[in-house]
A and B are shown apart, each in its own frame.
Chain A
């Protein structure tokens, strides 16, 4: 791919990402917010491809844009009209303070990265063709980071059990009423 094409794809994906992110937090109907988040996740997958993380781009589309978002849409459809909610209430200085706090985080991150990295962030390491493929990611995950892998599986198991318990408790209480 030519350089100009890479930059073009980058800018389209980056602005798609930021635009759909703003859309997520500004729609009052959570259904539209969830649809906008799917666009956000898809443009992030494009950026992952540009970073030669092919396996993670595939996992992003399958796990996030597929499974997680379908779960969100099911819950939003189940809750129905109650899901609509306006912006935070309270006096407007609270909203202004929230925007200022978010802006402070942005400045903080940019200054911290800029100061600690200096000029060392330019240029990229040379990589092989296998970089970011399932073979290499799996190799590193199941050897160097085996403990992280096991802990992740336990976290997933606990979350699944927790979801079932939360659901059955709510059903019992609804039946008792």
Chain B
């Protein structure tokens, strides 16, 4: 008997924590996006683990949809980063205060 779903859920929780630490601790928007990818992938791991546990394919379908949404998010995020770079704004999430009221 291989590792059961509990092992995968704990691993997914650790990955999610690593990703959230990246989002909270880093200033570069590029690394914040990379950490977001880690968080999305940890959610995917939990979904696929539960799909295997229940023997139903629905969790895998949901993980596929999450992958597509993550790809769209990367397109928009990278577009924003390139736009910031072209308008000579510092790539630092602490300094992006244009929308601050």
Chain A residues within CB distance 8 Å of chain B: 3, 6-7, 10, 14, 17-18, 21-22, 24-25, 30, 33-34, 37, 40-41, 44, 47-48, 50-53, 55-56, 59-60, 63-64, 67-68, 71-72, 75-76, 78-79, 82-90, 95, 98-99, 101-103, 105-106, 109-110, 113, 121-127, 131-132, 136-137, 139-141, 144-145, 148-149, 152, 155-156, 158-160, 162-163, 166-167, 169-171, 173-174
Contact = CB atoms under 8 A, between A and B. Distances in A.
B75 A163 contact: yes
A148 B83 contact: no
Given A34-B34, A64-B41, 11 more contacts: A33-B34, A44-B44, A59-B67, A71-B74, A87-B25, A121-B53, A124-B4, A125-B54, A159-B72, A162-B75, A166-B83
12 contacts: A21-B19, A33-B31, A37-B38, A40-B38, A50-B3, A51-B8, A52-B52, A79-B30, A79-B82, A131-B55, A132-B52, A174-B86
B24 interface: yes
Contacts of B57: 131-132, 136-137, 139-140
Given A56-B60, A148-B61, A155-B68, A166 B55 contact: no
